[in-house]
């Protein structure tokens, strides 16, 4: 089960900061490629922090 902190909802900007990448386009590319799950809410995407942690632990 995920820790409550891991279920924090992040914007693409916050997700980029969490993954330490310069640009939100990197996050949008990962979303478009289906590598991270997200929800489109309004004009932007929302990503669970736990999803980013899962992505980082995944073997390519």
pLDDT digits (tens, 9 = 90+) for 30-57: 999 999 999 999 999 999 999 999 999 9
CA 54 to the chain's CA centroid: 10
- Quote the CA–CA distance of 60 and 39 in Å, as a whole number: 23
With the C-alpha atoms ordered 21, 38, 8, 1, is the resulting torsion angle positive or negative?
A: negative
**Residue 1 predicted with pLDDT over 60:** no
Domain boundaries, given as residue ranges, for the chain: 4-57
> Which CATH class name applies to 4-57?
mainly alpha
Sign of the torsion angle spanned by Cα atoms 32, 41, 44, 36? negative
Phi and psi at residue 56, to the nearest 5°? -70, -30
């Amino acid at each position: 089960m995920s820790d409550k902190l891991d279920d924090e909802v992040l914007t693409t900007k916050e997700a980029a900061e969490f993954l330490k990448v310069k640009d939100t386009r990197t996050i949008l590319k990962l979303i478009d490629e289906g590598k991270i799950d997200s929800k489109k809410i309004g004009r932007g995407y929302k990503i669970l922090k736990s999803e980013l942690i899962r992505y980082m632990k995944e073997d390519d």
